[in-house]
Amino acid sequence: MSLRDQKSFLSNIHPFELLSEEQMDKCIRHMDIAYYPKDEILITPEKIPNHFFVIIKGSVHEYNEEEVLMDYHHEDSFDANSLIY
């Protein structure tokens, strides 16, 4: 994904569409794109990330024991708490 594509993608997602040009550029400079295989576990009580996730492609499911709590898809985001803590 080119820098231009990243900017276009993020500018459609709240709250990124509120960023100034300078803020958006800074955000993109600090952004990593990662690909995870199906059934990869991203977050557990023992595995706490220091990332904010935005889904470009695919889906992510949040579970509580065996029950699906959330189903995230294209342009959804999750784990904003990692930015705070």
- pLDDT digits over 24-61, tens only? 898 888 888 888 999 898 888 888 887 788 888 899 99
pTM of the model: 0.71
pLDDT at 82: 67
Q: Which residues constitute the domain of residue 46?
A: 34-85
Given a cut of 70, whether residue 84 has pLDDT beyond it is no
pLDDT, mean of residues 53-72: 87
Cis peptide before 15 (omega within 30 of 0): yes
- Which residues are CB-neighbours of 21 under 8 A, at least 6 positions away? none
Number of domains within the chain: 2
Same domain flag for 40 and 29:
no
Given a cut of 90, whether residue 22 has pLDDT beyond it is yes
pLDDT at 23: 92
Same domain flag for 38 and 22:
no
Tell me how crowded residue 82 is: count the other CB atoms within 10 A of its CB: 14
